[in-house]
């Protein structure tokens, strides 16, 4: 049974990151397999190591409570612990999302949309990937657009997050027939076709983890 819709929910950055870390660790072998097909086979290892460092960094810092500040810490940690493309890209996403939140005390649905739109813009500025280039943008983009649409339409945050996660999954699956135009997979040219993008796949896991990070304030 879902939570009563009269209760307004907010998200916990720490729960989001802990849930993302667990989901990525559980799927690490799969992510590595996907990256072995069209990259260098380190994506599962990169993201697992990075997310483990993020949860450790957050656990260390308990005197900073603003969600924006905690997202910035998470992002900085990813940038400094992951050597592959995904570290700087997701690190930038989280830092930019955190900055967009400013000093807001709670991460509610509207704040989350603001943060995720800034995160997506940060990824695209850094990596210059457009939709259809077979990257994490193909999962994050539809997720952010769906979240905004569903919240604007008046959906409860939990329902909107589920729709966003479904859109991210679908976006990740849709990368399979694409030819990579950015990142290491682009070196393969047409041989990148027929494989699901690892970064889009891990991104869908991170988006799905948002739905498990809902808390009731008060």
**Residues binding ligand ADP (CB under 6 A):** 35, 39-40, 42-43, 46, 84-86, 89, 123, 127-129, 135-137, 182-184, 197-200
User: Alpha helices, DSSP H only, in the chain?
Assistant: 13-26, 28-38, 43-60, 67-81, 86-101, 109-127, 137-152, 157-173, 198-210
Q: What is the DSSP letter of 189?
A: G
**Nearer Cβ to Mg ion, position 14 or 35?**
35
Which positions ≥6 away from 76 have C-beta within 8 Å? 91, 95
* Residue of this chain nearest to ligand ADP (CB atom): 199
* Binding site partner of 197, from ligand ADP, Mg ion, none, Cβ cut-off 5-8 A by kind: ligand ADP
Contact (Cβ atoms closer than 8 angstroms) between residue 7 and residue 216: yes
Phi, psi of 159 (to 5 degrees): -70, -40
**Nearer Cβ to Mg ion, position 43 or 49?**
43
* Binding site partner of 98, from Mg ion, ligand ADP, none, Cβ cut-off 5-8 A by kind: none
CB of 175 to ligand ADP, least distance (A): 8
CB of 84 to ligand ADP, least distance (A): 3
**Nearer Cβ to ligand ADP, position 86 or 109?**
86
User: Sign (positive/negative) of CA torsion 110, 116, 120, 121?
Assistant: positive
**Nearer Cβ to ligand ADP, position 85 or 112?**
85
CB of 86 to ligand ADP, least distance (A): 3
* Binding site partner of 89, from Mg ion, ligand ADP, none, Cβ cut-off 5-8 A by kind: ligand ADP
Which positions ≥6 away from 70 have C-beta within 8 Å? 13, 14, 58, 61, 64, 98
**Nearer Cβ to ligand ADP, position 137 or 157?**
137
């Amino acid at each position: 049974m879902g939570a009563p819709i009269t209760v307004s929910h907010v998200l916990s950055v720490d729960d989001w990151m802990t849930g993302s870390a667990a989901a990525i660790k559980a799927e690490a072998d799969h992510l590595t397999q996907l990256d072995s097909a069209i990259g260098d086979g380190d994506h599962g290892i990169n993201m697992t190591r990075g997310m483990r460092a993020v949860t450790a960094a957050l656990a260390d810092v308990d005197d900073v409570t603003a969600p924006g500040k905690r997202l910035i810490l998470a992002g900085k940690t990813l940038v400094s612990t992951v050597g592959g493309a995904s570290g700087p890209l997701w690190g930038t996403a989280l830092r930019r999302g955190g900055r967009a939140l400013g000093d807001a005390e709670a991460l509610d649905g509207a704040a989350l949309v603001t943060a995720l739109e800034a995160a997506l813009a940060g990824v695209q500025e850094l990596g210059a990937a457009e939709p259809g280039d077979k990257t994490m943008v193909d999962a994050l983009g539809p997720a952010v657009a769906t979240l905004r649409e569903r919240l604007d339409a008046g959906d409860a945050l939990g329902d909107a997050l589920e729709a966003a996660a479904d859109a991210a999954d679908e976006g990740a699956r849709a990368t399979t027939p694409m030819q990579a135009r950015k990142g290491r997979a682009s070196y393969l040219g047409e041989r990148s076709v027929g494989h699901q993008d690892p970064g889009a796949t891990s991104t869908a896991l991170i988006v799905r983890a948002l739905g498990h990070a809902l808390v009731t304030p008060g």
